[in-house]
Amino acid sequence: MKICIIGSGYVGLVSGACFSDLGNTVTCVDINREIVEKLNKGIIPIYEPGLHELVVRNLKKKRLLFTTDISSSIKKSDIIFICVGTPTKNNKADLKYVFNVTKSIKSNLNRYKIIVTKSTVPVTTGDKITKILKSNINKNKFDVVSNPEFLREGEAIRDFQFPDRVVVGTSSNKANKIMKKLYLPLIKKGGRYFHTSRRSAELIKYASNAFLATKITFINEIANLSEKLNIDVKEVAIGMGLDERIGSRFLRAGPAYGGSCFPKDTRALVSTGRMFKTNLSVVKSVINSNDKRTNLLLNKISKIMNNKIKNKNITFLGVTFKPGTDDMRESSSLKMIPSLIRKGAHVNYYEPTGKKKELKSKKINFFDNIKDACKSADLIIIHTEWNEFKQLNFKKITKKRNFKVFDMRNLYSTSEMKKNKINYFSIGR
C-alpha cells in the first residue's frame, strides 16, 4: 500500500519505518527541514533502540522516503496517517497541528483516501476533521479513521511490531477492510485487531493512559504510607501484582510520572470531561497528586541532606523521564534540578543519551561517564532506571567520604547497602 505519514517524530518515524518494513511504500513528511535532511542520510534525530537499522534498511530498498513536500506526498498515497504533536495548551490538547495538516489534506484529495489519526486526539476530533474535509467535490473521497498509537518510547519498535492490540475506529466498512489488510502481518503474529466506533477509539487511548497514570500514582501514594510504617513498598507491589486482576506492571514507586503522554493526556481527558459535563474526579486527583510529588521528593532530599543544600554537589544519574529514550518532555528532573540550584546546590549529571539542551545553567554540568559525574558528589540521585545504574560500586565512583545515595527507583537492596555501610535512601522503604 502507499502510505503517507505526516509528522516524523517518535510516533511518525517509528510507524513509517515499521510500515515500510512490512513491504509498504511509505513517505514520511515533516515541516522540519533539518530532520528530513538528516533522515534522508540515515541519521536518526531521536534515540530509539533498533530504529536506525530499520530506517537504513528501508531507505536502501527505496520503500521509505522523507520529504517536506506535503502536497505530492498526500496525492500519491492511499492512506494518510496524521502523527503530529498534540501538546497541552491551557490544560487542553492543542489541535492546531492536526487541523493544519487536515487543511493540507483537503487541498490535495485527488482520489479516495483514508485519513487516520494516530496522534492522540480528544473524542470528537475525528468528527471535526470530517467536517473540515467535507465539500461537494470531496464527496465519497475520504474516510476519517481513528487508530491510536500505544507504543512506548524505548520499546517502540517491538511494541509496533508485536502489538497487544490494534484499535481501529470507523463506521466505514471499506476503510475498516483496508486497515485490517494493512495490519494483517501484525494480526497474524498475535496482535488483536479491535474494530470499534471512531469516538470509542479516541477515548480508548485517553482512558488507557489515564489508567496507567493512576496505577503509578496509586503506588507512589502507597509508597508514602509504607515509608511511615517501615514497610517495603516493593513487597506490597509484588503482593498486589500477584492478583491477576491487578497485574504487576506499572506498580513501581518512583518520581512523578512524566513524558510526552501521561501528563498532557490526563489533563486533556479532564478537559474533555468538563466539555461534556462529566466530573472525572479520579483523574483529577491523579494529576493533583502527581503535581505535588516533585515537591514531596525535594523535601525528602532536604531531609536527607539535613537541610544543607547550599554548595553541596548533587549528581543526577539519568535525567530523562524513563530509560530507553532521550525524551525530556515533562521529566521530573526538569523541576527538581532548577529547584536544587535555587537552593544553592551544584548539580552534575550523567545521562546515557547525552547532554540535554533543556538543562542549561552555569551550575549544571554534564559528564559523559558515571565516574566523573559522581567523583565529587555529596549526594548521588538515581533518577532514571537505566540498566547501567543497576550494579554500581558507589565507594569506587565517588571520592567524598560522607556521600549519600538517594535511589528514586529502588534499584538496590536496603540490607546490602546497610551491610556495605552506604548512606542509602530509597522510595517507600
Ligand X SMILES: NC(=O)c1ccc[n+]([C@@H]2O[C@H](COP(=O)([O-])OP(=O)(O)OC[C@H]3O[C@@H](n4cnc5c(N)ncnc54)[C@H](O)[C@@H]3O)[C@@H](O)[C@H]2O)c1
Name which of 68 and 299 has its Cβ closer to ligand X. Answer: 68
Distance between CA atoms of 198 and 189, rounded to whole angstroms? 25
Q: By CB neighbour count within 10 A (0-12 exposed, 13-18 middle, 19+ buried), where does 212 fall?
A: middle
CB of 306 to ligand X, least distance (A): 39
Show the site string, 234-273: x = touches ligand X by CB under 6 A, - = not.
--------------------------xx------------
| Cβ-proximal residues to 270 (8 Å cutoff; 6+ apart), any chain | 91, 280, 283, 284, 287
Q: Applying CB under 6 A, which of residues 31, 132, 187, 422 lies at the interface with ligand X? A: 31
Helix (H), strand (E) at residue 204: helix 198-229
What are the angstrom distances between the C-alpha of 64 and each of 15, 42, 73, 401? 11, 11, 12, 55
Residue length of the chain: 429
CB of 120 to ligand X, least distance (A): 4
Count of positions on this chain that bind ligand X (CB under 6 A): 27
3-state helix, strand, coil in the chain (%, to 5): 45, 15, 40
Q: Which amino acid is at 334?
A: L
- Whichever of 119 and 315 has its CB closer to ligand X, that residue is 119
Stretch that binds ligand X, among 5-13, 51-59, 243-251, 419-427 (CB under 6 A): 5-13
The verdict on whether 261 is a catalytic residue reads: yes
Residue 153 in the binding site for ligand X (CB under 6 A): yes
Q: In this structure, are residues 136 and 162 in contact, taking their beta carbons and an 8 Å threshold?
A: no
Site for ligand X (CB under 6 A): which residue of 3, 5, 7, 95?
7
Nearest distance, CB of residue 87 and ligand X, angstroms: 8
Position of minimal CB gap to ligand X? 9
HSE value, Cβ hemisphere, 13 Å, CA-based, for 252: 12
CA 287 to CA 296: how far, in whole Å?
14
Question: Whole-number minimum distance, CB 118 to ligand X, in Å?
Answer: 6
Q: Which is nearer to ligand X, 9 or 428 (CB)?
A: 9
In the block, cell 486527583 appears at 285
- Which of 4, 12, 345, 405: binder of ligand X (CB under 6 A)? 12
Q: How far apart are CA 148 and CA 117, in angstroms?
A: 7
| Contacts (CB under 6 A) with ligand X, residues 343-362 | none
| Catalytic pick among 4, 18, 83, 261 | 261
Burial class (CB within 10 angstroms; exposed 0-12, middle 13-18, buried 19+) of 80: buried
Which of residues 272 and 410 has its CB atom nearest to ligand X in the complex?
272
Binding mask 48-87 for ligand X (x = CB under 6 A): ----------------------x------------xxxx-
Q: Which residue in 3, 22, 101, 236 binds ligand X (CB under 6 A)?
A: 101
10 touches ligand X by CB under 6 A: yes
Contacting range for ligand X; rule: CB under 6 A; set: 6-14, 229-237, 276-284, 381-389: 6-14
Report the sign of the C-alpha dihedral through residues 255, 256, 258, 262, in that order.
positive
Residue of 3, 4, 6, 319 that binds ligand X (CB under 6 A): 6
**Residues 115, 308: Cα–Cα separation, whole Å:** 57
Stretch that binds ligand X, among 4-12, 130-138, 354-362, 421-429 (CB under 6 A): 4-12
Q: What residues line the site for ligand X (CB under 6 A)? A: 6-12, 29-32, 35, 70, 83-86, 97, 100-101, 119-120, 149, 151, 153, 260-261
The catalytic residues are 261
